[in-house]
Structure 1
Amino acid sequence: MILLISMLFIAVCHETSAQTNNKGLITIGVSDSIQSSILDEKRDFWVHIPESENDSEVAFPVVYLLDGDKHFTSVVGIIQELSATKGNTLMPKMIVVGILNTDRMRDLTPKHGNQKNGPNTSGGGEAFLDFMKKELIPYIDQKYPTKPYRIYIGHSLGGLTVINTMLKKPELFNSYIALDPSLWWADSAMLKEANVILNNKSLTDETLYLGIANTLKPEVTIGTVTADTTHATQHIRDILEFSTKIVPESSAKLDFKFQYYPDDGHGSLPLIATYDALRYIFSWYDMDKSFIPLILNLEIKDVAVIKTLKIHFQNISEKLGYTVLPPEDYVNQLGYGCIKRELYEKAEAFFKLNVKNYPNNSNVYDSLGDYYAAIKDIDKAILAYHKALKTGAGSTYSRDKLYALLLQEKAHTLVLKKNH
């Protein structure tokens, strides 16, 4: 029932983050690079910037994604789906920075460890952490429209790197997503470090989501694997020890959730686990499903509805660490939904809230004009359309509506003169 009400009440957004360039290609990002003095090499990365249709979205939180060439398209797609597609507001729109590898073994291993196949360049993870902190993040913040909320995502050795960063430099990111992390690396050294650090550091401001793939041998189950001592199960045993013992028994008070995915292996896990992780991290972001029924309840006055909306976005602001106003397009949809159902006081309240929050946006005055036109207050509608034309870039829609009203007024005046 709630889904039906929502579909009838809120118009579908037309926003999309895929952009068509002058060659007719559909793109989801750009390629960029910096010269790293710490790593003594050029580092390439891909950047996705969401499209914005209103004044509430001039800057965005940032996802930093390891193994960017492998996971960039899927992560961008998940975020678009949850933040924009068909009017979804389950999480904020976000910039995605997909970091490409030069020497993956070097950068994504905090300590030197055994590597049987190929050259062993492992152990450069601390230098890579310095690169992230001192070079890449400052560069992204300087060049792109960022907000001070960051998520770090890594798979396998990348998941090991994510956990290492959370333990060593937790302030770099607000939330961490570790996908089937290689905690077995360097004789499970990360487990020993985590056990010490998590009992000597408060992590009450950080969130960690950990996805566990099914890497079990056929004869072993998730319930019996901890008793297995073979090398083949070391990967999942270390993850389970971290998830079921080290973190929950520590004093760090970390916001932590882990999930075992019995139907997904090490390679297929990232897609579904990233989706679940983002849903968990932003479980507080979307308006409660009771909000639409609250609007439709005739006994609930417009003042109470607006207060509920404001409180929700105050909570979002506290979680993200910066001010987030109710999005202009979202509130606009609520206003038009109220007009459709003749809830005129609530419609007026929504449109006037947008005028207050976005006084330099021509569309908020155009919408207010539509409200006045709907209740037949032509004089106020004309004033609102005039204001829309004079604000920002103006609006051809406002001009056409204004001319139609002026012609209507003129015709009405002529009829009155003729009758007299």
Structure 2
Amino acid sequence: MAAKGGGVAVKPGPVTLGQRFVIRSKLLKEDREILVRLPAYYDRAKQHYPVLIVLDGGNHFLHASGVVDFLSAGGRIPEMIVVAVPTMQRRARDLTAPFVNDEKAREDYKDIPVGGGAAFANFLADEVMPWVDSHYRTAPYRVLMGHSLGGLFNFIALFDRPDAFQAHIAVSPSLWWDKQAYVTLAEQKLGTLKQPHFLFMSWGDKEKTISESSQKLVDWMTAHPPAGLTWKARYYPGDDHGTTPHRTLYDGLSALYEGWLPDTNLHDAEDPDYVAEKDFPALLAAHRAARSRRFGYDVPIQPVEADTLVKWLIKRKRLDEALATARRHAALFPEYSDFQEGLGKVLTEMGRHAEALPHYEAAINDPGEYNDVWSDAVRLRKLRDQAKAPSAPASN
């Protein structure tokens, strides 16, 4: 039966988180499940997106997608493609290294397949990521999140396939494995990385073996800062092995993308004092160049930056530049109605009121989550009046 809300019949329907695929792995000689979450307006956009690979995907796909959506909506991180790889039925095999030092553990696990981490790293690097790249608009930046044995796998991948991922979020990593063999290996190899990498580690309460091995590695990295590695570690009091993943992913992505947007309140760009004292285009160009160098690829302008640039140019009465910029960004970000409104504002400032009106109407017809349809309707009436009365002042 259809539910009713506000006097209108509402037909129940699903809310879709993502899509499920099954790919055949030649390396592992088996079928593997892949879960994919795209940015909300992916189909309408033209951008390329960094990729977050989530291990134990059946457990972490939902909350990882929520963290990415929440942080990217606030401009803290870029929008990302989330690719979750379920591993629960094969996780001991896929996420570990062979026992070399721990003879007792080797005996204990004799009936359980372990030690396939190197093969699984090749599967992710040589099969999963090429499949993702061929199906979606990806940027050449990949983040790997793993929890527990998956956190151990971060280090296996970092040392066996350092080309595969540029950033690692190791949640409560099982660095106790094989008598802390990967702590020792990290001390030997972290200083030899040829390309920059980012590492975020965490642990919580009631994780004695994990905290001891993780703290040992943190102490070593503190005393011997590895060249080319940016790293942070965090202990979460009150959290335990089951609850560290969500906080760690939130904090890890926030740390990785710290300073993603310029260090200024972009909303201030409409303030007369701000536009008088700041050269925002130069600030933005410098920040974009630094950001691209930091992440190793040409990072395009972000939507909030582009919107602010148009507003700044309008305030400075550089209207020809504002019009060209607004048109360029409206084409680049067709999913954002703000750029239609920006085009309307520029054309209004130029006295081209009839040309402005269709852009205003397009913006109102696609208002976005936080806009109120009633206030938008009032605003549109004002804009229409403005378009019909060329002598009226421009709306801010």
TM-score bracket for this pair, using the shorter chain length: 0.7 to 0.9
Q: Which amino acid aligns with 1:25?
A: P
Q: 1:91 aligns with which of 77, 99, 106?
A: 77
User: Does the Cα contact within 8 Å between 1:295 and 1:305 map onto a contact in 2?
Assistant: no
Distance of 1:158 and 1:140 partners within structure 2: 20
In structure 1, stretches of 5+ residues that fail to align are 1-21, 217-232, 411-420
Match of 1:323 in 2: 298
Q: Label 1:103 to 1:299 Cα distance change in 2 as closer, same or farther (>3 A).
A: closer
For the pair 1:355 / 2:330, whether they are aligned, the reply is: no
Distance of 1:236 and 1:265 partners within structure 2: 11
Match of 2:214 in 1: 239
Distance of 2:324 and 2:265 partners within structure 1: 23
Distance of 1:321 and 1:267 partners within structure 2: 34
Distance of 1:350 and 1:175 partners within structure 2: 37
Q: Which amino acid aligns with 2:94?
A: D
Aligned-partner SS, 1:286: coil
Distance of 2:304 and 2:259 partners within structure 1: 20
User: Does the Cα contact within 8 Å between 1:152 and 1:177 map onto a contact in 2?
Assistant: yes
Q: 2:23 aligns with which of 30, 34, 37?
A: 34
TM-score, scaled relative to structure 1: 0.74
1:344 Cα deviation from its structure 2 partner: 5.9
For the pair 1:103 / 2:90, whether they are aligned, the reply is: yes
1:40 Cα deviation from its structure 2 partner: 0.9
Aligned residue runs from structure 1 range 159-308, under 5 A: 159-199=151-191, 201-202=192-193, 205-215=196-206, 233-246=208-221, 248-249=223-224, 251-293=226-268, 296-298=271-273, 300-301=275-276, 304-308=279-283
Match of 1:14 in 2: none
Distance of 2:137 and 2:277 partners within structure 1: 35
Distance of 2:333 and 2:78 partners within structure 1: 21
1:254 Cα deviation from its structure 2 partner: 1.2
- Which entry has the higher C-alpha Rg, 1 or 2? 1
1:266 Cα deviation from its structure 2 partner: 1.0
Distance of 2:150 and 2:16 partners within structure 1: 26
Q: Which amino acid aligns with 1:108?
A: L
1:215 Cα deviation from its structure 2 partner: 2.4
- Pick which of 106-115 and 31-40 moved more: 106-115
Q: Which amino acid aligns with 1:271?
A: H
Distance of 1:265 and 1:299 partners within structure 2: 46
- Pick which of 148-157 and 251-260 moved more: 251-260
User: Does the Cα contact within 8 Å between 1:177 and 1:274 map onto a contact in 2?
Assistant: yes
- Cα RMSD of the aligned pairs, angstroms, is 3.6
Distance of 1:109 and 1:237 partners within structure 2: 19
User: Does the Cα contact within 8 Å between 1:302 and 1:346 map onto a contact in 2?
Assistant: no
Aligned-pair identity in percent equals: 25
Alignment deviations for residues 273-332 of structure 1 (CA, whole Å, 9 cap, x no partner)? 111111100002033244444652527448712222232223222233333333346533
Q: Which amino acid aligns with 1:213?
A: G
For the pair 1:24 / 2:13, whether they are aligned, the reply is: yes
Aligned-partner SS, 1:177: strand
Residue correspondences, number? 357
Match of 2:285 in 1: 310
Alignment deviations for residues 130-151 of structure 1 (CA, whole Å, 9 cap, x no partner)? 1111111111111122111100
1:385 Cα deviation from its structure 2 partner: 5.8
TM-score, scaled relative to structure 2: 0.78
Q: Label 1:309 to 1:240 Cα distance change in 2 as closer, same or farther (>3 A).
A: same
Q: Which amino acid aligns with 1:313?
A: R
Aligned residue runs from structure 1 range 93-132, under 5 A: 93-101=79-87, 102-112=89-99, 114=105, 116=108, 119-132=111-124
Distance of 1:54 and 1:158 partners within structure 2: 31
User: Does the Cα contact within 8 Å between 1:306 and 1:350 map onto a contact in 2?
Assistant: no
Q: Label 1:74 to 1:157 Cα distance change in 2 as closer, same or farther (>3 A).
A: same
Q: Label 1:247 to 1:109 Cα distance change in 2 as closer, same or farther (>3 A).
A: farther
Q: Which amino acid aligns with 1:208?
A: L
1:97 Cα deviation from its structure 2 partner: 0.6
User: Does the Cα contact within 8 Å between 1:366 and 1:385 map onto a contact in 2?
Assistant: no
User: Does the Cα contact within 8 Å between 1:331 and 1:350 map onto a contact in 2?
Assistant: no
1:247 Cα deviation from its structure 2 partner: 6.4
1:253 Cα deviation from its structure 2 partner: 3.9
1:345 Cα deviation from its structure 2 partner: 3.0
